[in-house]
Chains A and B, each alone.
Chain A
Amino acid sequence: RKEVEQDPGPFNVPEGATVAFNCTYSNSASQSFFWYRQDCRKEPKLLMSVYSSGNEDGRFTAQLNRASQYISLLIRDSKLSDSATYLCVVKASGTYKYIFGTGTRLKVLA
């Protein structure tokens, strides 16, 4: 089993739609959680950290469920510019390693 698993997609959604991605992780000692965005042939960039209480940044909402060991990303009012691959990243306490999921590809259609 992979340490971090994501549905690869692609998710094809119309502009203005709401879309949600889930990511599961296997290491219960995981302590830090992030969503990164990666555009084609570019480096990953932080979209948002994920906090235990959940957090929101504009149209983006991240949630953490420790009991079920998954994190989620909700994108409201999708824009064409949201088209990208979204990477789930997990880091265990006491380690220096960031573990990446394979990413979920989103295409927002006009």
Chain B
Amino acid sequence: NAGVTQTPKFQVLKTGQSMTLQCAQDMNHNSMYWYRQDPGMGLRLIYYSASEGTTDKGEVPNGYNVSRLNKREFSLRLESAAPSQTSVYFCASSEVFGQGNTEAFFGQGTRLTVV
């Protein structure tokens, strides 16, 4: 049971470099999310994709772009990394049935340091 898989687990970037964080889920969920977690700030939503073919901004989208490649995969791109983007990034997925909601399932996280 892989669930939600994120790569890489750790990354160090220099300011101005770019990179893409990959996320894949095998639960056939329609919705996928990218969060960042910083000390004292909790998890903050960067972008989400309610379903394949759609993406929307969350609370802190500046400096990021996303691609919903297919139903399984949702990637997060940093075009020009800044030290303020040093954080732990979590990908998540969930399913919604009518008015009901299931919980969100998380990947193991990517620890990104920008120097």
Chain A residues at the B interface, C-beta cutoff of 8 Å:
8, 31-32, 34, 36, 41-46, 49, 87, 89, 91, 93, 96-103
Contact = CB atoms under 8 A, between A and B. Distances in A.
Given A31-B101, A43-B108, A46-B103, 8 more contacts: A8-B40, A36-B103, A42-B108, A44-B106, A45-B106, A96-B56, A97-B58, A102-B41
A32 B101 contact: yes
- Give the dominant DSSP class at A's interface: strand
Contacts, number: 51
Interface in B53-110: 56, 58, 90, 92, 94, 96, 99-101, 103-109
Interface bracket on B: 20 to 34
A82 B57 CA distance: 35
B33 A43 contact: no
B115 interface: no
A43 B106 contact: yes
Given A43-B107, A102-B40, A97 B101 contact: no
Given A96-B50, A98-B33, A98-B104, A43 B42 contact: no
A25 to B, nearest CB: 13
